[in-house]
Structure 1
Amino acid sequence: MSAFLFSLVAVFLTSLGSRDQVLIARLSGVLGRNYALLVLGCLIAAGTAALMTAAGAHIGAMLPGPAKTMLAAFALIMASAELAWPNRVRKPVEPTRSLGAIGIVLLARQFGDASRFLIFAFAAGAGLSWFAGAGGAIGGIAAVALGWVLRGDLEAVLPLRTIRTVLAIVVGIAAAVIALSARGLIW
């Protein structure tokens, strides 16, 4: 149960200001309250969480304990780097109304984001990886829904760059602690 809650909170927080959330917010601002856009974003968030959970669980099952911990640390390092990377998403000038095209872009943006790296790390390191994956899916869905609800106000209401920088530092420190403990250098 703790893997579920920790994954839910961590994924939601690291999804704040992510490229997919900003895209959903901007498209929702331009297209209006399009419920199909919300459903599509939620389905893709759940699907990418499931795929990253399966990948993390599969690879984690092949590794011994210290290697599994090191894999989780590497995934956290990747998440920290992605959080620190500036998010320069252009505003859609004339957005497409094709849900297929929007879905492809959302899928591509979610596979390389920090939240999916966290889901992978939790699934690789947790004994009950599907609980971590379910928490990550719900956290991702909540972040997409927040972007859809706030629409164009998302970037005005939240200091997204500051949030992502602080989270990059926190996740980077967590990765360093996990990596050092896997090597037996601390604790």
Structure 2
Amino acid sequence: MALHGFCGPLISSPSLTPARTPTSTMVIHSCPPTVWVNAKIRNTTTKPLSATASTPQKYMYPDPIPEFAESETHKFRAELSRKLLKDKATFGDDFNSVIDVCTQIFSEFLLKEYGGPGTLLVDPFTDMLVALKEKELPGAPLAARASLLWAQNYLDQDWDVWNSNSPK
């Protein structure tokens, strides 16, 4: 008698006798040690998947647009400076360095990864926090949070406006 499980065909033999429990569940012992499977005993056969079943289409995001990245980086820098200027005492003489670090990381993200709505990641903002702390610049959490909030509020919207004005 051959059984089929998650690990392929399971052949019943004296060395592979399943351990039965009172709930008619068996433990399949022929799987690799890291993949133990509990399976209910059934007297049904499985039907193959229909050949007409379609696989979901994978959505492809557009590639980053260098001109958009450059324009948005300038806007980001100006808005972040304006926002953090309210707490300039937190940053002291390192204000421009904090803005430079955040702007550089944001620009790299826009140039390499951002492809429109649905592609905003938290990674660049985490990278900002880490980079600011590594450089021992003050106000790292405040700057990273302000950067993230700005991006959440404006980046996707600005992308849509940019692309609606682009010639088709």
With normalisation by structure 2, the TM-score equals 0.35
More strand by share: 2
Identify which of structures 1 and 2 has the higher relative contact order when contacts are C-alpha pairs closer than 8 Å and 6+ apart. Answer: 1
Larger Cα Rg: Structure 1 or Structure 2?
2
Return the TM-score normalized by structure 1. 0.32
